[in-house]
Structure formats: C-alpha cells, structure tokens
Structure 1
Amino acid sequence: MSKRLFYLRGVPDDEAGEIRELLDREGLAWYETPPSPWGISHGALWLSDAADYGRAKALLDDYQRQRGEQARSEHARAKREGNAQTFAQLLRERPAFVLITLGAILFIVVLTLALPWLLLR
C-alpha cells in the first residue's frame, strides 16, 4: 500500500528535484501526484511500498537537515559580507509593499482585539 512521503506545497522546484533524485538513487519506488487545477491540492510524492517509509523518512530528514544547514551558512555569509536584506533596505526598495503589509497587520490586530469587545456590549 502506498504512503505519502512529502507534500509539494511551497516546495521550490530545485528541492523537489533533488528529493526525486535522492529517492531514485536509493532505489525507492515512488510516484508523484500532480497539483489540482483549482489549487485545492498541491501534489505530493508517494512511496509505492509503505514498508520503505522508515528508510525514506530518515533519508528525507537527513536531506532537509543538510539543506537547512546550507541555507543558514549562506545567510550567515551574506550577513558577514553585508549582502543580507534588512528591514530598512526592504523599506527603501519597496515602501508601498511594506506600508500596505504593516497596515494589514495593524488592521487584523485591531479587529482581533476590538471585535470581541464590540460583540459583547
């Protein structure tokens, strides 16, 4: 019986490709379900044999740990070199985006705090 290994929602194409290659390299039988045309499902990678799940999950956990370490080291390097984007840089580059986002956050916070008070009066 099949077992879902990995949802593809929000997964970059390069990461999904590397995971497909990892599964192939390790000789694990897998298949992919495509995303739905209406955006309800974003697709997933499935193992054909549920008995392989423990091994595949361990491989996936190790891969994600390595990828996380690589991303953290790249970010630390960018910070050392002064290339990491800061809030001030984002505000200078995209002021409308930042102000609209902050306004939306403020609106949600005010609504969350005021709505119960207004409804309970």
Structure 2
Amino acid sequence: MSQELVEICLRVRDIDATLDFYTNLFDFEVASRREFPEKKFDLVYLNSPGSSVQIELTYNYDADPYEVGNGFSHLGVTVDDLEDMHETCKASAYKTGELKGLSGGTPSYFFVTDPDGYRIEVKRRK
C-alpha cells in the first residue's frame, strides 16, 4: 500500500494575520480559499513551492481561543539562504530564535513563531 502525506491542518484565530505570515515571510501561495458562512468557518489551502504537502488553515468564526497542544512541536521549512531568512524574520514582528547548530556545530536552523503560536523550524537546505 502506497501512502503520501498531503496536508497539515492548523486552526487559526486571525486568518489575515496568518496568511500574512505564511505568504509574506515565507513563499507559501494560496492554492484555494473556501468560505462557509452558514457553517461559520473558512478554509484556506497553502502550497509551498517544491512540495506537494499543503497547509490547511481552518478559521472558525465563533471558536474560543485555541491552545497549541503540548504534544505538537513544530513544522519544518527549508531555505537556500538561512542567514538571510533569519535576518528577515528578526526584522519582522514575529518571535524569532537565534541560529543554532546541533551539538554546538555550524548553525543550521532557527525557530520563528506564527501569529497563533505554532513554531516553524527554518533549516538550511542541503
């Protein structure tokens, strides 16, 4: 049996702020947007160039604030120029960690936090 991961769903509080984070800070593109006002929710699907996995953003109009689960850790994104992306994230309004390397080695990643508290690990593309 063949399987393929096709999407990851994130529940969000502010769809516009979240779209700004993923499309302006990163290179995600809106693949589709579906609004269901009668059911009080919207869905936005994001594509990342070079990947077949989509992020599904779910915005529920009347939802209580979400808490990021203590079992969830982060999403991972690779970039060609880690240092440039780190400077871009630090210059943004988003919480950005320091460049780090495993076991004190050459810096190869950092974390940035989206408007809903989801952490994104940004890694150097190999």
Structure number having the greater strand percentage: 2
**Which protein is bigger by CA-based radius of gyration?**
1
- With normalisation by structure 2, the TM-score equals 0.29
- With normalisation by structure 1, the TM-score equals 0.30
Structure number having the greater helix percentage: 1
